[in-house]
Amino acid sequence: MHISEGILPLSWAGLWWAGTLGALAISFKNLKRNLQDYPEKKAVFAFITALVFLFSVVPIPVPFSGTCSHPVGIAVAVFVLGLSGSIISGFIVLLLQALFLAHGGLSTLGANAFSMAIMGSISAYLVIRLTQNLGFPLYMKGFLAGLLADWITYLTTAIQLALALKGEESVSSLFIKVLLAFIPTQVPLGILEAIITGALVTAIYKRRKDLFAFEGLKTIKGVVK
């Protein structure tokens, strides 16, 4: 989710920015209302954003793809902050990394945020709701949410690169090449992130279940929309 500056043509970068800004506008409105209802969540929001920052800060270069491989950490944010909070948190993380660490660029920030903050959060949210309905143990909820959030983030990044850089090549052909470039690093990283996410959400719930957007993985009114 750290596509470098200049990798995407401006037309594609602008398109992803448009989608990201639309999602941010909706998420910010929900988050603002939630923080008014639950002001104690402000400190939690800052803590979880810092945690996601640390999760996703170590780069593993992926040859020939114009990007790097990382754990994403966004599933933990969905558990604690809800969907809207997670999207805003993920965007802040990527903005700070682009500004101060040269992880990704500003023109490509819309694309990077769309893949991690938006698609990563949505996939984790849907997994949590599905596994909640199926009665999965908390650790498995965290494991599957962490795994899918990680892999969906990189699947989206592969699609973004294939669409923008296809040239004379077909989109499907380039997509497969980019995906194959990610697989050696991201398959094991995704599994490792799933293990850590499951353990982390279980530990948080045992000590401070009141911090969860899903208390007992049941929605608290006004926190998760």
Task: Round to whole Å and give the CA distance between 194 and 191.
Answer: 5
Mind listing the pLDDT tens digit for each residue in 7-50? 899 999 999 999 999 999 999 998 888 888 778 788 999 999 99
Count of C-beta atoms within a 10 Å radius of residue 2: 27
- State the 10-residue block means of pLDDT for the chain, 225 residues long: 85 96 95 83 91 82 62 92 93 94 90 96 94 90 96 94 86 90 84 93 87 52 36
Q: Please report the domains of the chain, with CATH numbers, ordered by start residue.
A: 10-219 (1.10.1760.20)
Q: What is the pTM of this model?
A: 0.88
What is the widest separation between alpha-carbon atoms in the chain?
Answer: 55
Cβ–Cβ < 8 Å for 148, 123: yes
pLDDT at position 66, please?
57
Task: Round to whole Å and give the CA distance between 206 and 202.
Answer: 6
Cβ–Cβ < 8 Å for 92, 205: no
Task: Round to whole Å and give the CA distance between 104 and 67.
Answer: 8
Mind listing the pLDDT tens digit for each residue in 118-137? 999 999 999 999 998 898 99
